[in-house]
Amino acid sequence: MSPISVKDVFSKKFSTVYESDPLSRCLELFKKETPPVLAVLDDDKKYVGVISRRWITRARLDPASTKVKTLMRPAPKVTPEVSLSKAARLMIEGGVRQLPVFEKEKLVGFVTDEDIIHSAVIQDWGNTTIEKIMTKAPYTIEANRSVGAVLSLFREHDISHLPVIDNGKLVGIISIQDIIEQIFQPQRRQTLGDIVGGKVQVLSIPAKGIMTNPVVTVTPETSLKEAEKKMHDFNVHSLVVTTKESLLGIVTKLDFLEPISQMETAERKLAVQFGVKGIEVNPEYVEIAKKRVAEAKRQEDLF
Note whether residue 119 is domain-resident.
no
Same domain, 218 and 282: no
Phi-psi region of 98 (alpha: psi -120 to 50; beta: other; left: phi over 0): beta
The residue among 119 and 180 whose pLDDT is bigger is 119
The residue among 247 and 200 whose pLDDT is bigger is 247
Q: Where are the alpha helices (DSSP H) in 20-127?
A: 23-33, 53-59, 68-71, 84-94, 113-121
- Is the distance from CB of 289 to CB of 273 less than 8 angstroms? no
Q: Give 66's pLDDT tier (boundaries 50, 70, 90).
A: very high
Note whether residue 263 is domain-resident.
no
pLDDT attached to residue 276: 44
Q: Where are the alpha helices (DSSP H) in 95-223?
A: 113-121, 147-157, 176-179, 185-191, 199-202
**How far is Cα 139 from Cα 250, in angstroms, rounded to an integer?**
9
Note whether residue 262 is domain-resident.
no
**Residue 40 lies in domain:** 6-112
**Is residue 193 over pLDDT 90?**
no
pLDDT attached to residue 62: 86
Q: Region 57-81: what's the mean pLDDT?
A: 89
Same domain, 52 and 156: no
User: How many CB atoms are closer than 10 A to CB 210?
Assistant: 19
Task: Indicate the number of domains in the chain.
Answer: 3
- Is the distance from CB of 249 to CB of 137 less than 8 angstroms? yes
Same domain, 22 and 73: yes
Note whether residue 219 is domain-resident.
yes
Q: Mean pLDDT, the chain, as a whole number?
A: 83
**Is residue 166 over pLDDT 60?**
yes
Same domain, 83 and 138: no
pLDDT attached to residue 291: 52
Q: Region 2-19: what's the mean pLDDT?
A: 89
Angle at 52 between CA 48 and CA 57, to 5 degrees: 130
**Is residue 194 over pLDDT 50?**
no
Q: Give 290's pLDDT tier (boundaries 50, 70, 90).
A: low
Same domain, 252 and 282: no
**Is residue 282 over pLDDT 70?**
no
Note whether residue 121 is domain-resident.
no
The residue among 95 and 221 whose pLDDT is bigger is 221
**Of 68, 83, 112, at which residue does a domain stop?**
112
Note whether residue 231 is domain-resident.
yes
Same domain, 248 and 141: yes
Note whether residue 261 is domain-resident.
no
The CATH number assigned to the domain holding 135 equals 3.10.580.10
Please report, for residues 31, 54, 56, 96, the alpha-carbon distance to residue 191 in angstroms, rounded to integers and kept in the order given. Answer: 22, 20, 16, 30
Note whether residue 117 is domain-resident.
no
pLDDT attached to residue 216: 95
Same domain, 282 and 187: no
SS3 state of residue 254 = helix
**Is residue 228 over pLDDT 50?**
yes
pLDDT attached to residue 113: 94
Looking at residue 248, its amino acid is: L
Same domain, 145 and 250: yes
Q: Using CA of residue 75, residue 12, residue 120, residue 252, what is the dihedral sign?
A: positive
Same domain, 51 and 153: no
Same domain, 80 and 189: no
pTM for the whole thing? 0.75
